[in-house]
């Protein structure tokens, strides 16, 4: 795979359903400063992506985001980050169902209440039906629907670009001054990064990393592809944000960006805006795309969730029943589990907006294992052949870990405690399963001793911090004892403590070689890294 193919593999994931809602939510949280939110998150993800470039080229294994921590810290970390990867995957299909519903509500009003911003009972029924359809198609083994190819990627990029070009013809320059550049303060800017869907929209950079073993000249190609994909994706989203702000009629901004009132815009931002300013044909095209594209993504993530569950069972972290496959090779019990848990995530969250913070936080929590793994593997196997070697890794790895934790913190305490409940339930169930599995792998507690402190500590900082993550009128659950900026200092300081603690207790070199050999199905000697 050359440079263009590598860029497109990431770009196809970066330009997803997040663009359908991100521009509206970002301005509701941050006003015109929503433009800046896209730039900042793009830079933060670029650092994380470069970390994964080295890891992906060094050990080009499938599902590396959940497996690199296993190599560096042993089975307990492997169980945890594998489970984080599964939670991230299982939450995507439900949020894609909500994306379909909110845009489809233009034709089918009873599935979504735009005034209250909630899915109706009929909408929940349709969402469950969509999840069932995704599951049935997966049972049939129709694999081509789950493949992203260059034609689909061109389409996914062409529609946003067309939208930008058309809506910029309705440019209202004075819209950018409504309330000032940052009408809701720095806090609003930071909330937009996660709760406004900005980070969710830019997820997906790791796809080129996952294909690192098939990239030509990865030392040069991987960083160029990842940075190129991030630049293209960020540029498109920034232009979309500019076009959205510029095209809004003045009547919608009479009370500021947070009080946009048009029901069609609130339910389907781009189609609603296009229709409101007189581009009915574009509104129709966007509503079609907003049903087809999220549905395709939801289908693919049901597939990937079932495969992650299958892999966890093969590693003996899940019961062996989830490793069963039918005659088509489909892990059917793991597929049913993905469907049932998908329904579980639908019910407590009434809309795309309410679920986006949880999906993003689970994803970034999964990404946080990358910098920790990079730092450890640099010490454990320093002679390893690294087709791409990140410069200044001793600085960039802990800095990337801080960035990941800052994004987790911005999601707010309501999101973090809900994710914490999911993780606790998962740990309890996995613990029960492994207790009765006589062939389970040995548990490396010492090398993961930092992990429970990390998870609990982030929860406590969030509880004491400034961000509630609550969009309703209910009283916030966080205490707000940490002043603005001091809270970020607390996150950064805590992140550095965890990072260097993890470095100190990393798995021994011999264990790393044994794990890589066992995961790759080769001898330990064959798994030994090749020197430069």
Buried b (16+ CB within 10 A) or exposed e, 449-470: ebbeebbebbbebbbebbbbbb
Q: What is the CA radius of gyration of the chain?
A: 22
pLDDT of residue 441: 79
**Whole-number Å distance between alpha carbons of 459 and 124:** 30
pLDDT of residue 523: 45
Buried b (16+ CB within 10 A) or exposed e, 48-77: bbbbbbbbbbbbbbebbbbbbbbbbbbbbb
pLDDT of residue 212: 60
What is the secondary structure of 245-262 as a DSSP string? Answer: HHHS-GGGGTT-GGG---
**Whole-number Å distance between alpha carbons of 302 and 420:** 22
Q: Which domains does the chain have, with CATH numbers?
A: 3-527 (1.20.1740.10)
> What are the two backbone dihedrals, phi and then psi, of residue 113, each rounded to the nearest 5 degrees?
-100, 100
332 Cβ contact list (under 8 Å, min separation 6): 139, 324, 325, 326
pLDDT in tens, the chain (532 residues): 788 888 877 887 788 789 999 999 999 999 999 999 999 999 999 999 889 888 887 887 666 677 899 999 999 999 999 899 899 889 989 998 999 999 999 999 899 988 888 899 999 999 999 999 989 887 876 455 445 445 667 788 899 999 999 999 999 999 999 999 999 999 999 999 999 999 999 988 776 765 666 678 776 787 888 888 889 999 999 999 999 999 999 999 999 999 999 999 999 999 999 999 999 999 999 999 888 878 877 887 887 788 788 878 877 888 888 888 888 778 889 999 999 999 988 888 888 888 999 999 999 999 999 999 999 999 999 988 888 899 999 999 999 999 999 999 999 999 999 999 999 999 999 999 888 888 887 889 999 999 999 999 999 999 999 999 876 566 788 999 999 999 999 999 999 999 999 999 999 999 888 877 766 554 445 445 544 3
CB-side exposure of 174: number of CA atoms within 13 Å?
A: 5
CA 453 to chain centre: 23
Buried b (16+ CB within 10 A) or exposed e, 265-275: bbbbbbbbbbb
pLDDT of residue 63: 64
Q: Determine contact, residues 43/192, Cβ cutoff 8 Å.
A: no
pLDDT of residue 455: 97
Burial class (CB in 10 A: 0-12, 13-18, 19+), 129: exposed
517 Cβ contact list (under 8 Å, min separation 6): 523, 524, 526, 527
Write down the pTM of the prediction.
0.91
**Whole-number Å distance between alpha carbons of 165 and 418:** 40
A 10 A CB-CB count for 483 gives 10
**Whole-number Å distance between alpha carbons of 377 and 45:** 21
pLDDT of residue 506: 97
* Residue bearing tokens 């993961």: 448
pLDDT of residue 532: 38
**Whole-number Å distance between alpha carbons of 446 and 143:** 41
Maximum C-alpha span of the chain: 70
Burial class (CB in 10 A: 0-12, 13-18, 19+), 497: middle
Q: Which residues pair with 118 in a beta bridge?
A: 113
Q: Which residues pair with 119 in a beta bridge?
A: 112
CB-side exposure of 519: number of CA atoms within 13 Å?
A: 26
Residue ranges in 381-412 assigned as alpha helix (H): 393-410
């Amino acid at each position: 795979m050359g440079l263009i193919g590598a860029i497109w593999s990431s770009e196809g994931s970066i330009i997803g359903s997040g663009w359908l809602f991100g521009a509206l939510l970002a301005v509701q949280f941050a006003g015109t400063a929503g433009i800046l939110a896209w730039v900042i998150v793009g830079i933060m993800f670029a650092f994380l992506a470069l970390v994964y470039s080295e890891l992906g080229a060094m050990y080009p294994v499938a599902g590396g985001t959940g497996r690199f921590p296993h190599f560096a810290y042993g089975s307990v970390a492997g169980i945890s980050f594998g489970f984080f990867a599964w939670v991230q995957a299982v939450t995507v299909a439900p949020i894609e169902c909500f994306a379909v519903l909110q845009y489809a509500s233009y034709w089918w009003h009873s599935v979504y209440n735009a005034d209250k911003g909630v899915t109706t009972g009929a909408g929940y029924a349709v969402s469950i039906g969509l999840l069932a359809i995704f599951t049935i198609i997966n049972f049939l083994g129709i694999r081509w629907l789950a493949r992203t190819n260059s034609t689909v990627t061109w389409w996914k990029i062409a529609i946003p670009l067309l939208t930008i070009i058309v809506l910029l013809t309705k440019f209202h320059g004075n819209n950018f001054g409504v309330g000032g550049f940052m009408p809701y303060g720095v806090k609003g800017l930071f909330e937009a990064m996660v709760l406004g869907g900005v980070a969710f929209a830019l997820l997906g950079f790791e796809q080129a990393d996952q294909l690192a073993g098939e990239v030509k000249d990865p030392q040069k190609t991987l960083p160029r592809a990842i940075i190129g994909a991030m630049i293209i994706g960020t540029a498109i989203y920034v232009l979309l944000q500019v076009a959205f702000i510029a095209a809004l009629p003045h009547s919608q901004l009479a009370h500021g960006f947070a009080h946009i009132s048009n029901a069609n815009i609130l339910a389907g931002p781009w189609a609603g805006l296009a229709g409101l300013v007189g581009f009915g044909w574009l509104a129709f095209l966007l509503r079609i795309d907003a049903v087809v594209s999220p549905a395709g993504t939801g289908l693919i993530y049901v597939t990937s969730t079932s495969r992650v569950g299958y892999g966890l069972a093969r590693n003996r972290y899940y019961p062996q029943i989830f490793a069963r496959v039918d005659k088509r090779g489909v892990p059917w019990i793991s597929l049913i589990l993905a469907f049932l848990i998908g329904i579980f995530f639908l019910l407590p969250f009434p809309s795309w907006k309410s679920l986006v913070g949880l999906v993003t936080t689970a994803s970034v929590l999964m990404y946080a294992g990358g910098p920790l793994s990079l730092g450890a593997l640099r010490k454990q196997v320093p002679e390893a052949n690294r087709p791409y070697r990140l410069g200044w890794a001793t600085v960039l790895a802990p800095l990337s870990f801080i960035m990941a934790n800052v994004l987790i913190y911005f999601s707010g305490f309501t999101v973090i405690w809900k994710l914490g409940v999911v993780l606790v339930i998962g740990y309890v169930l996995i613990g029960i399963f492994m207790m009765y599995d006589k062939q389970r792998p040995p548990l490396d507690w010492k090398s993961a001793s930092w992990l429970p402190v990390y998870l609990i500590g982030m929860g406590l900082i969030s509880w004491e911090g400034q961000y509630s993550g609550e969009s309703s009128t209910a009283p916030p659950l966080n205490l707000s004892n940490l002043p603005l900026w001091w809270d970020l200092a607390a996150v950064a300081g805590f992140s550095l403590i965890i990072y260097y603690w993890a470095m100190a207790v990393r798995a021994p070199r011999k264990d790393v070689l044994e794990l890589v050999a066992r995961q790759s199905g080769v001898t330990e000697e064959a798994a030994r890294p090749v020197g430069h």
